[in-house]
Amino acid sequence: MRLVSASPRPMEPASDAPGEGVSSSGAAGAEARAIETALALRAQEGDVEAFAVLVERRTPGLVAFLRRMLGDAEDARDVAQLTFLRVWENMGRYDPAWAFSTWLFRIAGNLAIDALRARRTRQRTETESFRLVKGARTSESDAPAALHRDDVRRVFEACAGVLSGTQRLVFVLREFEERDGKDIAAILECRESTVRNHLFQARRLLRDEIRKRYPEYTSGF
């Protein structure tokens, strides 16, 4: 996977997110969706065991997604736990017309954006406090860690600070989770054209940031 492609990729058929321990291709994908819908409907009736199965099926992929969103494994696990808590509290609002994973990622994405906003607010407060104590401004960012040419995730995490929470969410869903535009629009509850705009802006900002910070990675951009 290229971190930032020069132009949007063609849309792919809708599917559940890959890499979640649930097959997403063809009949297997349809069967997995049907199983999760049935489990979710049982959970709506208060079946704790059915919900536990959903948590077991979806936890690996959800944590991986949140790890890419937040750039921190511990934060990812914390937000994943909060996500499942919110899902359980709101099971009565689940609409079986949508894949359970779409609803799950909508809740997780919103919580991840909230976590990113809180982190940025905390960082600004800490930076300002340090400036007042020291009497001088600190640098905006530390020198980047050593990079390996094939470590796409590390490059992304180093540069993703230029993205808004929504841009980061769309980019992660499209490029890492390989969700299509229709599915991302359902998760964000917006139009596909809005998703395309967020993705275009995210790619543009990342290209500029990579050119600035890691020019050795920009050949072919």
Please state the domain count of the chain.
Answer: 2
Q: Is the pLDDT of residue 126 over 60?
A: no
Higher pLDDT, 19 or 95: 95
Residues 44 and 127 both lie in one domain? yes
Taking the whole predicted model, whether its pTM rises above 0.85 is answered as no
Residues 124 and 152 both lie in one domain? no
Q: Is the pLDDT of residue 179 over 60?
A: yes
Residues 114 and 156 both lie in one domain? no
Residues 76 and 124 both lie in one domain? yes
Specify the DSSP element, H or E, that contains 181. helix 181-188
Last residue of a domain, one of 138, 168, 191: 138
User: What are the tens digits of pLDDT across the range 27-55?
Assistant: 777 889 999 999 999 999 999 999 999 99
Range of the domain at 179: 143-221
| Residue 34, phi-psi category: left (phi > 0), alpha (psi -120 to 50), beta (remainder) | alpha
What mean pLDDT value characterizes the chain? Answer: 78
**pLDDT of amino acid 216:** 73
